[in-house]
A and B are shown apart, each in its own frame.
Chain A
Amino acid sequence: MAAVQKALFSSGILLVTAILFALRVDKSVDWNWFLIFIPLWLFDAVMITYIIVNIIIHFRTSLCGNVDRNDMTKNRKYGLLVFCVFKIAFQVLLCLRLEGFQISLYYVLIPLWAVLVAGLVDNFFVLKATSPYR
């Protein structure tokens, strides 16, 4: 997918999720929270498929410098896969909590915190490195 398509797809998914979320919170609809999160499940499915296909492409082609045409290393792709898994875990826990299960909010937020800390560390290295994308 090109960058424009990816950006459009992500924005559309976010928009639909926000609308469904608002409807559910205002009690205009009375659906299960797992149904409200359907766009996000779809997004996760597409994202995981995309990453796995990219990992397979990485193995099947000979790359110079261990980096593909998007400057992505194999480890980076594995990291993105782990990020997806954490995101799904967070969404499932959030849905369960919203459905009324007695889970402490701390446990619900642990995957989110892990992802955020990883992102912060990642971002910190960018700020430290001499790259043009400060």
Chain B
Amino acid sequence: MIDFHFSSKWINFRLVYNWILDLEKKIYTMLLRLKEIVQWTRMSAFELFLHLLSILVFSVLVAAKVEGDLSASWPTIFAPLFICDGLNAYLSLIVFVRQYRDLKKASIRLACSLVVIALFFTFKILLCQKLAKGNLTCAEPHDYDSEANVLEGQNLYRL
């Protein structure tokens, strides 16, 4: 405990100090619930923070794009999400490097997070292409005759 030797006519320092302690305790107990989300998604709080931030920026950009206030292309709109995925992959690599003493545990953790990140990334990139090109060509087999060259190697990116 800090003992206050000074006093003021205007401010009751002990009261302020107790109030701050109380607030900290409240915040701590208030936020322990995050434990459950961390358990479910196997993401750390910082990864969740990145995801939330990227979704926030992305939704603002989408709103501006759809309402016609922003003339950027869809890949640009999706950039925050891709950046978030890249940062998350980087973070999991860092965690892997720092857990090298327990290699088995570290490898399992790395594999899990990389698989999840890769799946998210695939979903986002496919969604982006769907929005940019109107539809995914593979979803409509009857179009193959008109676009016979689509699956012939050099045009695979047009999936």
Contact = CB atoms under 8 A, between A and B. Distances in A.
A42 B33 CA distance: 23
A75 to B, nearest CB: 7
Interface in B6-54: 24, 26-36, 38-40, 44-46, 48-49, 52-53
A119 B32 contact: no
B34 A104 contact: no
Interface in A78-112: 104-106, 108-109, 112
Contacts, number: 82
A133 B27 contact: no
A104 B48 CA distance: 29
Contacts of A19: none
Interface stretch (B55-63, B82-90, B104-112): B55-63
B59 A113 contact: yes
B30 A117 contact: no
A68 to B, nearest CB: 10
Contacts of A109: 59-60, 63
A106 B67 CA distance: 8
A32 interface: no
A122 B27 CA distance: 9
A124 B49 contact: yes
A53 interface: no
Interface of A: 3, 6-7, 10, 26, 65-67, 70-73, 75-76, 104-106, 108-109, 112-113, 116-117, 119-120, 122-127, 129, 131, 133-134
16 contacts: A6-B36, A70-B33, A71-B29, A71-B35, A72-B32, A72-B33, A73-B29, A105-B62, A105-B67, A106-B63, A108-B63, A109-B63, A122-B34, A126-B31, A131-B31, A133-B34
